[in-house]
Structure 1
Amino acid sequence: MRKLTESEVLSMRELLQMETNTLIQARAMQSLINDDELRRLNEAAILQTEGTIKSMQQFINENNIIDVGQVN
């Protein structure tokens, strides 16, 4: 795979942060939802978002996008 540009790495970071924020919000809302159908939809959204985050993390790891030596 070709090396990602700085802007692509930044976009990946922003997408991952957005998905993480979405997951946090969905989990927080779960206990507040009374409607069964809406609760099931929210649970499905949580599972889907978790899957997206795992896929993104796998892509990052498999392609050595983050050089751990540079992380402070």
Structure 2
Amino acid sequence: MRALSEIEKISLTAVLKMETDALIMQRATDTLISDEDLKRLSQSSLLATEGRVKAIQQFLIENKVIAVEEE
């Protein structure tokens, strides 16, 4: 795989930030939902967003865009 340009790295980190912000908002909103059908829909959306965040994080780690501190 080719090396990522600086603008690609910045774009990826911006997408990750947007997705994590959306996840925070979804979690907060999910607690307010009382309708069971809407709650299931919200929870599946939460799982999808969590999957996207994890995939982006993994991509950034594998391509050494972000460093991971080992304990």
Normalising by structure 2, we get a TM-score of 0.87
Rounded to whole Å, the distance in 1 between the matches of 2:62 and 2:40 is 33
**Counterpart of 2:32 in 1: which secondary structure?**
coil
- Post-superposition Cα deviations, 1:24-64, rounded to whole Å, max 9, x if no partner, equal 00100111111111111110011001111111111111111
Q: CA RMSD in A?
A: 1.3
Rounded to whole Å, the distance in 1 between the matches of 2:20 and 2:66 is 18
**Counterpart of 2:34 in 1: which secondary structure?**
coil
Rounded to whole Å, the distance in 1 between the matches of 2:39 and 2:55 is 24
**Match of 1:61?**
61
Q: Which amino acid aligns with 1:51?
A: G
**Match of 2:35?**
35
**Match of 1:8?**
8
Rounded to whole Å, the distance in 2 between the matches of 1:47 and 1:23 is 9
